[in-house]
Structure 1
Amino acid sequence: MIIKRPNYKKLQFIALILFSIMSFSQNNRIEKSIIKAVDKHSENAIDLIKESVNINSGTMNFEGVKTVGRLFQKELDKLGFKTELTNGDAYGRAGHLIATRKGKKGPKFLMIGHLDTVFELDSPFQDYTMLNDSIMKGPGVADMKGGDVIIILAMQALHEAGLLDDMSIEIVMTGDEEKSGDPLELSKKALIDAAKRADIALGFENGDNNPKTIVVSRRGSADWQLKVNGNPAHSSQIFTEAIGAGAIYETSRILNEFYVQLAKEKDLTFNPGFIIGGTTLQPDEDGTGGHAFGKTNVVSQDVMVRGDLRAVSLDQLVKAKATMERIVSENYPKTNAELTFSAGAYPPLAKTDGNVKLLGYYNTVSQDLGFGPVKAVNPRNAGAADISFTSEYVDMAIDGLGLTGGGDDHTINETGDLNTVAIQAKITAVLMYRLVNSKL
C-alpha cells in the first residue's frame, strides 16, 4: 500500500487563494455598503448645498460665514466629530470650522474646504437657480460649498458603513480662502498646524471643473509692486545727461525685460494688472486704482505698477523673483526703481512623487467604481488654494475632489453639476477606506 504525502506547497497555495477570495469578497461587500450609503444620503446632500448657497458668505460678511460654518458643524456633530468654530479677530476675518476624529488605524487625513465666497452682500448674485435637472447656478456652488458637502457626504457614508471610528481625520474649512486675513501666519495657522499632524491632505476645491482631472500641483502666487522715479523736466530735455529717460520709459524697459527673459518659462506667469504714471500720483488706499497727473510736455517723474507672480514650485518662484529684481536694478540714466513682493503669499503645491502616487490610487478607485480614468490637471489651469499650505508637511496631497462640471467661477454665471456630488463622495470614501486598510 502506497501512502501519498500531502503536497503542502499546493495546500498552502489553495489556502492563499481561498483567503484572497474571502478577503476580496469582504472588501467588495464593505465598498458596496459605502456606495449604498452615499446614494441613501445624496438627496439630503443636494438640499444642504441649496441651503448653504442661499446663505451669503462673502469673505467680509462675517456673520454669513459663521452661519454656513454652523450649518456644516451641525452635520459633523451628528457623526461624532469634535467641532469648533474658531475666532478670526486676530487676522480680521470670521474664523474657521475645524472638526476632528481620532482613530487607531491607517494614515492621518486632512480634508480641506472653505466657507467663504467672493460674492459679498452687495453682489447681485445671492440665490441659486436650477438651469436644468442637474446644473445649479448659484454663488459658491462650485467654489466651494459643493465641495464642503461632498466632504460631509463621504463622512456620512463611512459612518454608516461602520468605518469612521477607525480613522483619524481632521477637517478644516477656512473662512478666508477667497480673501486671506492679515497677517497670513495667523490666518493660515490652523490649517498649517493640521497639516503638520497629517499624512495625507485631500482638497475639495473644484480644480479645473473637469471630473476627469485631479490637482497634484498648484501654482503659488505673490503680489508685487514696482515704483519707478525719474527727473521731472520740460520734455525738450529728455535723454539729456542731466534729465535722463524719465520714469515711464524706465517702467516700459522693466516690463519688457520681464517679458523677454521670463515669458517662456514653463508654468510661470507674471501679470502687471495695474499702472499709473505721470508727474504726480495719487493711488487709492486699497491699491486698486488711483489718479495720475501729467502733461505731454513734461518728463514723467513717478510710475506705480502692481501685479502678481505665479510659479509651480518654490525654486521657480525664487529664481523668478531674483531675475525680476536684477532687471529692476539695471536702470536707464537718471532713473531708479524699487520692486517689492507681498509678505502674504500663497506657496506653490509642488508636484511630488507622493502626490502622483495618491493620484494613482484615486484613479484606480475611480475606474474600479466604473467612473473612468482620472488624470492630473495642467497647473496652468489650477490657481492658488488652501491646500498649498500643506505642501511642506504632508507625504501626499491632491486637490480638485469637489463639485465639478460647472464653469465661470467667481462670476454671476458660476455653476456646478449636481450629478458629480455622489460620484466624488463615493470615490473619496472608498479611497480613504482602502488607504486605512492598505488595500491599494
Structure 2
Amino acid sequence: MIKRIKFNTLFVGMLFMFSQTSMANTATEQKITKHINDNLTQSQALLEKTVNINSGTMNFDGVKKVGAIYQAEFDAMGFDTQWVDGSEFNRAGHLVASYGNSGPKILMIGHLDTVFAKDDAFQHYSVVDDTHIAGPGITDMKGGDVIIIAALQALKALDLLDKISIKVVMTGDEESSGRPLSLSKKALVDAAIWADIALGFEDADGDIKTAVVARRGSIGWQLDVAGKPAHSSQIFTDNVGYGAIFETARILNSFREQLAGVGNITFNPGLIAGGTEVEVQPENSIVQGFGKTNVVAKEVTVKGGIRTLTADELVKAKKVMQEVASNNLAHTSATLTFADGYPPMAPTDQNYALLKMYSDVSESLGYGPVAPVNPRNAGAADISFAADHVDMAIDGLGLMGDGGHTKDEVADMSTFAQNMHKAAILLYRLGEAKAL
C-alpha cells in the first residue's frame, strides 16, 4: 500500500512529463523503430521456430524447449535469467528474466504454453498469404513473447535500457494453471510485488486498435445435488419429493433468473450428469451418469465457471448462488463449491492513464489511437494475478489475429512490427519521463 500511495502522488506529473518527452525524442524513437524493422526477419524466424515446437501445457518437454530458446535471447542481452521448476505444481515451470536497478520497475508478462496437446493435428507454422500466418499459439501467445524480446533488443542495442528496471515472466501454465495456485503463480506474484507497472502481451480481442485495462476473473464451481431414489411412479409425492434432476433444473434456472445481465457477471454450467449413480473424474474433466427412466434420480453433478469484473461482483454472485442452492425442494439437498482461479483485473484510473500513454505512442507513430477493450470480449489472463500488486497495468499488447484456441488460429502479421514499435517506445518514454 505504501508503494501505491507514493507512486500515485507522482502520477499526474508523470503524465505531463510523458507528453513533453514524446515531443522531444523523435530522432531517438526513429532509431528504435528502424532497429526493429532491420531485425524483423530475425524476429519472424524466432516466431516460426518456437511455433513449430509443440508446447501444450502438459507437454513439459516442449514448454521447456520454447523457454530455453527465449532464455538464450535474454542471456544474449545480459539479463539475469532463471528457470523456475514446476514440479511442485505439476507443470513444466516458468522463465524469469531480470535487468537493471534504476528507473521505473516494469513487469512484462508472456506465457510459453498453448492449448494444443502434443498429439494435436494442428502443429505447424504455415503462411496463409502476404499478411497472415497460421500456427498453434502464434497469437496466444508466442507472437507476444517475441514482441517482448524484440522491443527489449532494440532498446539494449541502442543503449536505452538502463533508465528502467525490467522483469520478464513467461509462465508455463497460463492455459491450464498448476495447483496449488499459491505455488504456480508465485513467480508472477513476486515479480508484481516488486514492480510499479505491469504490461501483458496477450492478443486480447485481436484488434490492434484496442488494449486491456480490465479483465474479468474466472473461477470454477461444482454443484452436487442429491434426491431420494424411488420408482418413478412416486415422484412428486410427499414421501419421495422431486428427485435430484428436478432440483438441479430449479437451481440452474434460478441462477439464470437472478444473475443473467447483472453487471459483468456471467456463469456457465458446462458439464452435467445425473441419474442413479454419478462418477466424477476431475483430472480428465469427465462426469458420467447411470440411470433409468423409471427411477427417480438420486444424484446430479454440474461443473461450471463464473466470470466477474470486480471482487465485489464475485462476492455477490457467490452469495446469490449459495442462497439458491440451499433453498431445496422436498427430499433434496445441494452442495455448491467454488474453486480457486483467476482474480478480476478491475478497471482503475491508473490503468486508463497507462493506456493513454500507450495510445499517445501509437498516435505519434501514425498508427492511430488505442481504446480500451470491452471486458466481455477478452478472457482471463496471467496479468490478473499481477494487477492488484502494481500501480498501473494494461494487457493486450501482443500479436493480433483470429481463431485463438482453435485450429483456425491465424496471426495478422501487419501488427507484428507495429506492436514491437509501440512496446519499445512506451518503455523508452517511461524511462525518460521518470528521469526528468
Task: Determine whether 1:378 maps to 2:362.
Answer: no
**Does the alignment pair 1:369 with 2:370?**
no
Deviations 1:176-200 (A, max 9, x none): 1111111111000000000000000
Residues 1:276 and 2:273 aligned together: yes
Could you tell me the percent identity over the aligned residues? 54
Please state if 1:350 is matched with 2:346.
yes
- Superposition RMSD in Å: 1.5
Amino acid in the other structure paired with 2:404: D
Within 2, Cα distance between the matches of 1:153 and 1:201? 18
Q: Does residue 392 in structure 1 map to residue 367 in structure 2?
A: no
SS of match in other structure, 1:437: helix
Structure 2: unaligned runs, 5 residues or longer = 1-19
Shift of 1:287: 5.2
- Give the C-alpha shift of residue 425 in structure 1: 0.9
Q: Does 1:322 align with 2:319?
A: yes
2:171 is aligned with what amino acid?
Answer: T
**Deviations along 1:392-427, whole A, 9 cap, x unmatched?**
2101000000000x2111111111112211100111
How many residue pairs get aligned? The number is 416
1:438 paired with 2:428, answer: no
Say which of 83, 86, 89 aligns to 2:87: 89
Letter in 2 for 1:248: I
| CA deviation vs aligned residue, 1:334-381 (integer Å, no higher than 9, x gap) | 110000011x31101111111111011111110011000110001011
Q: Quick one: which amino acid aligns to residue 374 of structure 1?
A: V
Per the alignment, residue 151 of structure 1 pairs with 148
Q: CA deviation at 1:327?
A: 0.5
Displacement of 1:26 in angstroms is: 5.3
TM-score by length of 2: 0.93
Q: Deviations over 1:24-77 (max 9, x none)?
A: 775122111111111111111011000000011111111111111110111111
2:32 corresponds, among 31, 34, 41, to 34
2:8 maps to: none
Structure 1, unmatched stretches of 5+, are: 1-21
**Which residue of the partner structure matches residue 126 of structure 2?**
129
- Matched residue SS, 2:170: strand
Per-residue CA deviations over 1:280-312 (Å, capped at 9, x if unaligned) read 122335352333222222111111100000111
Pairing of 1:283-302 with structure 2 (within 5 A): 283-286=280-283, 288-302=285-299
CA-CA distance at 1:94 after TM superposition: 0.8
> Does the residue aligned with 2:358 lie in a helix, a strand or coil?
helix
Hey, which bits of structure 1, 4+ residues long, moved more than 6 A? 22-25
Which structure has the bigger radius of gyration? Answer: 1
Q: Does 1:180 align with 2:177?
A: yes
Aligned runs of 1:40-439 on 2, under 5 Å?
Answer: 40-105=38-103, 107-286=104-283, 288-342=285-339, 344-404=340-400, 406-438=401-433
Q: Secondary structure at the match of 1:96?
A: strand
Tell me whether 384-393 or 29-38 shows the greater mean CA deviation: 29-38
d(CA) in 1 for partners of 2:144, 2:23: 31
Alignment-derived partner of residue 5 in structure 2 = none
TM-score, normalized by length of structure 1? 0.92
Residue matched to 1:19: none
Contact 2:272 2:287 in 1 (8 A): no
Contact residue 277 and residue 299 of structure 2 kept, 8 A: yes
SS of corresponding position for 1:308? strand
Q: Which amino acid aligns with 1:121?
A: K
Amino acid at match of 2:102: K
